[in-house]
C-alpha cells in the first residue's frame, strides 16, 4: 500500500491523461492502454524539451559556422 501512495501523484496525472485518451490503433500488436496513456504523458513533456534541444543545436551549428568563417586560413 505504501508503494501505491508513493505513486499517487503519477496516478492522478495518468487518470487526467486518460480523459484525452486516443482511439486505439488496430495494428497486429497490442499497444496496451496503459502504455498509450503513459506515452501521451511523456510526449507532452518531451515535446518541449526536444524543441529546445533542436533549437540549441541549430544555434550551435550557426555559431560554429560563423566561428569557422572568421577563422583565418592556416
Q: Which residue ranges make up the site for another protein (CB under 8 A)? A: 7, 10-11, 14-15, 18, 20-25, 27-44, 46-47, 49-51, 53-54
Rounded least distance, CB 62 to another protein, Å: 20
Nearer to another protein, 23 or 69 (CB): 23
Nearer to another protein, 61 or 66 (CB): 61
Nearest to 16 by CA among 38, 32, 49: 38
Contact (Cβ atoms closer than 8 angstroms) between residue 40 and residue 22: yes
Residue 14: partners with Cβ closer than 8 Å, 6 or more residues away = 37, 38, 41
Amino acid at each position: 500500500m505504501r508503494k501505491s501512495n508513493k505513486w499517487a501523484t503519477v496516478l492522478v496525472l495518468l487518470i487526467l491523461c486518460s480523459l484525452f485518451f486516443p482511439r486505439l490503433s488496430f495494428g497486429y500488436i497490442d499497444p496496451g492502454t496503459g502504455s498509450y496513456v503513459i506515452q501521451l504523458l511523456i510526449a507532452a513533456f518531451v515535446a518541449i524539451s526536444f524543441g529546445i534541444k533542436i533549437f540549441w543545436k541549430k544555434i550551435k551549428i550557426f555559431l560554429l559556422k560563423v566561428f569557422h568563417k572568421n577563422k583565418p586560413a592556416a
